[in-house]
Structure 1
């Protein structure tokens, strides 16, 4: 093992130990957490120039490295986006504290009183790509829920992440708190991820946020329990009873508002009874929005500029101005197709038929299932959770947008009066 590897291993071990020690200190804080969050929000806005200068370095490196437009959009900060980060933190500060809430309580026949109460998870490691706003979101949610956080961002956003983390840590110090409530791993070497994933003694849970490849790598290699926040191969199904005037704006929004996000639509499923009327309208709308269509054999003749779709297209998260199109003969076939190719993220049906809507809601296996709405609403802020830690596509321990309550566990508090077991 070279000196660099030894240094990385040693420093990440130190980060883990400091986080472990800090978690008990953080768990003693109460309402003062809200005051600190408000100070952090103000500090981020006040230091916008400093953060934007750091972000310019990352953007320049991304452009020079040929980074895709969708990924550059994820990486890019602006004054408005920094204000948005600050607003998200302020919203979290206004939310109820999720810790020490009584979930249930009861008394046994022997007189033991049992109470089930919420507690922090402890130390959370978050591994993420591109988006520097995740740095601020992750801090606000973990801090409010009493959790210490260790962050490992992508190398493409290292300058931005460091600037944001430095502002937060400086604010914690000025507020008389431990700056190790948040730590950013400063190494871009891939071995740093492996070292973080081995810190089972100090880290309670790992949350990966990024591409399917990143999530798969974390799940395959982590010695620490993982909450998957999945990639998004999101579908919109155009039912035979769809309102076309309603459908087109929803598709445009879901596909083009931000192409590089996990809740953007990647695939369209169309009932064959509406395709003759619907697909020409879709073709014009997608052409106007510079979206390439990749269509199956049953729809391509109605889409003049489309290219033939392959089987791989139906399972792909493009993060680009590309949309696959598949025709089906029934809502049941649509559900079967979506369940085969989706990533368990967000799926939508456009229909005026309540029976078909109900079939779709009940039959589609995903964290979020919509009727007559864009998949872009799968977001903690939109759901009223404040900022989110990610969208969980698994079923344990959380599912869907992960806000404060999803960053807690629970324990049982049992009070007796001298009872012993027979």
Structure 2
């Protein structure tokens, strides 16, 4: 596919999406929810062919040498597929943001002004490896009244197509336009370039994938982008941390699932924390390789020297960087210098130290005495998420229904004219 063909394809999809978005923006909550519940039922009914499609993707990806972290994101099984269907039902049960009144006021001129939520319009999603994004993005965009154009990675093409069929069936069952959720069928990368250039057709682009993909989208897009580059997340074990709690949280934050963006990548241990050697031993014995500074290496001979690049690396693997720091000031400074603004946590029984960390660490999610693996829209009670936004404009943190809306002002007067 050449550039001209790709441009024509995305333009056609964009026009269809725009027409569908106009219908969705007026669709009743019950109708949108019915489409999602029908899609969830369709996924459950189509479990065998969906898993077969995923098995074909996994076989090709394994043969091509896809990284273990990406293979984990690609893999579906019965439990994961059940969770995908459950997420659709959960989004269907969420309050509809469209039309929600955010503000009401009546200035001296007597005009009653209300600020209400409205959909963004047409959203483009460019993503890698994760078939669940097909469903999560489709569900969130639909419930928030937006049409969406999905372009998944070629490694997940069969899985995405199978899941997309269930979404389309849900739309049909609820008498909503099929073009509300479109999947770019071609695996040619020219389609991504066409989406990046589709100003006027796509209102917002959301990339989900590796750092290279997100960086390309941010650099080349002529459409506004909502994104995060990586999840270089830190856990700081304060001197007053409970040792048993610290061990449980650190193991979970790093090793529950190493390939998710909420995984801990750097462990900071206060020089005053008495159980530091035991904490490192627990991680190492659990199969996590550690790359540390001189003081960390002195605590366990299995800790290898960290390079300058290690402090800025999102491993997405059973590897972590570890540094010994002298108090909260040093921990906060390290995060400011090396963090990606995604998710960072402090473990401590000192409330003042926790409050200071929560106030001064400038990340989208900052936690006290909890695993960074909670960086997930579902865990925040948002049903599902399109991604974790680490920028400062429009939306930050888990982007769910409200993050996919903007607002407009409505004014109701009684004949006022301005002098």
TM-score (norm 2): 0.97
Where do 1:361-372 residues align within 5 Å?
361-372=358-369
| 1:242-294 CA-partner distances (Å, limit 9, x unpaired) | 111110110110101111000000000111122xx433212321232211000
Aligned to 1:240: 239
| 1:326-350 CA-partner distances (Å, limit 9, x unpaired) | 1111210100001111110110111
Equivalent residues of 1:230, 1:345 under 8 A apart: no
Aligned to 1:53: 52
CA distance in 1, matches of 2:167, 2:296: 52
CA distance in 2, matches of 1:295, 1:122: 47
Aligned to 1:22: 20
| 1:132-168 CA-partner distances (Å, limit 9, x unpaired) | 0011001111101101011111111111111111221
1:103 is the counterpart of 2:121: no
Q: Decide which moves more: 388-397 or 182-191.
A: 182-191
Where do 1:231-310 residues align within 5 Å?
231-274=230-273, 277-310=274-307
Where do 1:378-389 residues align within 5 Å?
378-389=375-386
**Unmatched 5+ stretches in structure 2:** none
1:73 is the counterpart of 2:69: no
Aligned to 1:13: 11
Equivalent residues of 2:140, 2:384 under 8 A apart: yes
In the comparison of the two structures, how many residue pairs are matched?
A: 418
| 1:356-410 CA-partner distances (Å, limit 9, x unpaired) | 1111111111011111110011111001010111111111111111121111110
Where do 1:130-149 residues align within 5 Å?
130-149=129-148
CA distance in 2, matches of 1:184, 1:289: 40
1:131 Cα shift?
0.5
1:8 Cα shift?
2.1
Aligned to 1:412: 409
Equivalent residues of 1:12, 1:192 under 8 A apart: yes
Where do 1:79-158 residues align within 5 Å?
79-158=78-157
CA distance in 2, matches of 1:284, 1:106: 59
1:305 Cα shift?
1.0
Aligned to 2:328: 331
CA distance in 2, matches of 1:111, 1:280: 68
Equivalent residues of 1:234, 1:343 under 8 A apart: yes
Equivalent residues of 1:294, 1:307 under 8 A apart: yes
1:86 Cα shift?
0.9
Equivalent residues of 1:367, 1:393 under 8 A apart: yes
CA distance in 2, matches of 1:256, 1:383: 21
CA distance in 2, matches of 1:5, 1:202: 17
Q: Decide which moves more: 128-137 or 410-419.
A: 410-419
CA distance in 2, matches of 1:335, 1:386: 31
SS in structure 1 of the partner of residue 410 of structure 2 = strand
SS in structure 1 of the partner of residue 294 of structure 2 = coil
Equivalent residues of 1:230, 1:391 under 8 A apart: no
Equivalent residues of 1:293, 1:323 under 8 A apart: yes
Aligned to 2:356: 359
Equivalent residues of 2:296, 2:303 under 8 A apart: no
CA distance in 1, matches of 2:271, 2:108: 62
Aligned CA RMSD, in angstroms, stands at 1.2
Equivalent residues of 1:230, 1:392 under 8 A apart: no
**Unmatched 5+ stretches in structure 1:** none
